[in-house]
Amino acid sequence: MSILQSKRRRAISSRPATGAWVAAATLLGTLALGVGSGRAALFRLRAECQSRGAVVTLGDVAEISAADAQQADALAAIELFPAPPAPRQRFVRVREIQDLLLLRGVNLAEHQFSGSSQVTVLSQAAPTEAKPERPLSSSAAKTANRRVVERVVQYLRENVSADTAWVVQVELDPGHARLVADPGRTISITGGAPPWTGPQHFEVTVNAPEGAERFPLDAQVEISPAVVVAARSLPQGTVIRAADVELQRGVPQDQRAGGLSSVDEVVGKETARTIPKGKALQKEAIRWPLLVRRGDVVTVYARNSGICVRTLGRAHDNGSLGELVAVESLADRSTYFARVSSVREVEVYARSARADRVDISGLPQAVNVRQPAAGGEAAQQGGGLIPSTTADR
């Protein structure tokens, strides 16, 4: 009895194993049939993935290969489970994925699985906001304008006149300035029309690795006038000679403003500051030579019709011919203004219109009083300089 019972128990215990083997064989056969049917898909599971939305899909956790592209897209869109909240993550085994697919009505016998046996699902990626472009710096904007101006000038020299000193002014908007500011991008110019000066319309082509971009360009084109520039370095106080300066075209606009166009305007005058070689002479940079310097003892002539009073004073300012300087009386230290007339000489005019009624008691103490001859110096002066006997400066 014991032998028969043991054989029966072994036979019974072997039945489930045999059934499992038969089921596995049947599944493999079915999969093999599915592969050959043309509707089979291969799911290659990833070791790690990140959800692209609030719900994890089959396309997030696996790479799907199928002969039918529409079938692959439909399988990839199957939703599996919600994405884990940040900063958490979720571990999903292949068996869980298969169970979820079965619940969605997917026939697993038609498809195959490969790749990782477990997928780590990361939390949903936070949406990234597009960072606003940083504003173009002033130096970069100037560089962009300079590059375009240089290219337009080159275009005019090559196509219109190589000997003309072209002056071009442009104003780029920030988008176009950003486009041309990169020195690695080449710029080409077309357009323009005779007479080639005044408002001109060009087209700019910017060649970049990602392709060529074009935009219209409005420019103001002029021919640079000749201005006086220093032929050598002129230190402050230099009396300018004809050999010290020359006329030159093509001077930058910032130097042309206030510049001089005739050599005769500057010869004989004195530099008020040092002027480097090649620098345009500005009106405020030159003056007539100083005839009176601060601290000089000067001769003061007080003139009126028929009367000339001479005295001495001390200059409080530097002055060239015709300039007003403050003068302090050596007698009573009162201060008044006088016009420079010669070397260490200044003159003032009294208010009275008639010589026989001039009151000179308020004038500085006279060193010498003389009556000029008719038609002489007093007759030739035109009057008009108002004397100052106050100490206000």
Task: Give the pLDDT confidence score for residue 127 in this predicted structure.
Answer: 57
Give the confidence band of 359 by pLDDT, cuts at 50, 70, 90.
Answer: low
Pairing of strands 89-93, 118-122: antiparallel
Q: Is the pLDDT of residue 358 over 60?
A: no
Structural domains in the chain? 22-122 (2.60.480.10), 138-223 (no CATH), 227-287 (3.90.1210.10), 290-380 (2.30.30.760)
Reading the block at residue 124, the tokens are 């949903």
Q: Is the pLDDT of residue 376 over 60?
A: no
Q: Is the pLDDT of residue 43 over 80?
A: yes
Task: Give the pLDDT confidence score for residue 166 in this predicted structure.
Answer: 87
**What residues contact residue 361 under an 8 Å CB cut-off, 6+ apart?**
none
Task: Give the pLDDT confidence score for residue 298 in this predicted structure.
Answer: 94
Pairing of strands 118-122, 48-50: parallel
For residues 256 and 227, the answer to whether their CB atoms sit within 8 Å is yes
Comparing C-alpha atoms, which of 372, 360, 358, 383 is closest to residue 311?
360
Task: Give the pLDDT confidence score for residue 31 in this predicted structure.
Answer: 39
pLDDT digits (tens, 9 = 90+) for 125-178: 655 555 666 777 888 889 999 999 999 999 999 999 988 888 899 999 888 998
Q: Which of 26-40, 44-58, 254-268, 347-361 has the highest mean pLDDT?
A: 44-58
Give the confidence band of 351 by pLDDT, cuts at 50, 70, 90.
Answer: low
Task: Give the pLDDT confidence score for residue 52 in this predicted structure.
Answer: 78
- Whether pTM > 0.75 for this model: the answer is no
Q: Is the pLDDT of residue 195 over 70?
A: yes
State which amino acid sits at residue 290.
L
308 forms beta bridges with 303, 370
Task: Give the pLDDT confidence score for residue 128 in this predicted structure.
Answer: 57
Q: Vertex 43, ends 115 and 24: CA angle to 5°?
A: 85
Select the more confidently predicted residue: 294 or 15. 294
Give me the residue label for tokens 């970069």.
140
Q: Is the pLDDT of residue 185 over 80?
A: yes
Q: Is the pLDDT of residue 220 over 90?
A: yes
Q: Is the pLDDT of residue 14 over 50?
A: no
Select the more confidently predicted residue: 229 or 9. 229
Select the more confidently predicted residue: 391 or 280. 280
Task: Give the pLDDT confidence score for residue 126 in this predicted structure.
Answer: 58
